[in-house]
Amino acid sequence: MIRLAAWSRRGLTCRQAVELVTDYLEGALTGPQRRRFEAHLAGCPHCPEYLAQMRAVVALSGTITPDDLSPHMRSEFISLYRRWRADEAPGDQA
C-alpha cells in the first residue's frame, strides 16, 4: 500500500492535485483519476488541508443568508404586484 501511494504521488504533483479538487468534489473524476487523486492525498502533508479548506469555503458560503426586505421595498413590491393584478385579472377579485 505504501509503495503504491508513493508511486501514485509521484504520478500526481500537488499543483495538479489542487487543480482537480473541484472535479473531485463534483464527482466528475473517472475511477482511475479519483484513485490517483486519493492516493496523492494519502501521501501528501498539505493537500488534505487544501481539500478541507475548499470544503469549508463551500460550507461557509451556504451559511450566508440574504437580508430581509426593508419596509420601503416591501411596499414597492406590493404595489408592483397590485398593479399587475389590476391589469391582468380585472374581474378576478371576488
Partner 1 sequence: MLEDPDAEFVNRFRAGDEDAFVVLAGKYRAVMLSLALGYVPSMAVAEEVVQDAWVGVLRGIGKFEHRSTFRTWLFRIVINRAVSAAARERRSVPMHDLEPADGRSRFDAAGNWDVPPEPWVNQVEDRVTAAKVAARIMAAIGELPPRQREVVTLRDVQCMSSEEVCSALDISQANQRVLLHRGRSWLRQVVESEFGGTR
Alpha-carbon gap, residue 69 to 81, rounded angstroms: 15
> Vertex 14, ends 59 and 5: CA angle to 5°?
100
Instruction: Single out the residue of 31, 32, 88, 90 in contact with partner 1 (rule: CB under 8 A).
Output: 88
Among 1, 15, 32, 72, binds partner 1 (CB under 8 A): 15
CA distance 56 to 94: 52
Binding mask 45-84 for partner 1 (x = CB under 8 A): xxx-xx-xxx-xxx-xxxxx-xxxx---xx-xxx-xxx-x
Give the number of residues in contact with partner 1, rule: CB under 8 A: 45
Minimal distance in Å, beta carbon 32 to partner 1? 18
42 binds partner 1 (CB under 8 A): no
Which grid cell is 41? 492525498
Spatial distance between the Cα atoms of 47 and 43, rounded to a whole number of angstroms: 9
Q: How far is the CB of 8 from partner 1 (least distance, A)?
A: 14
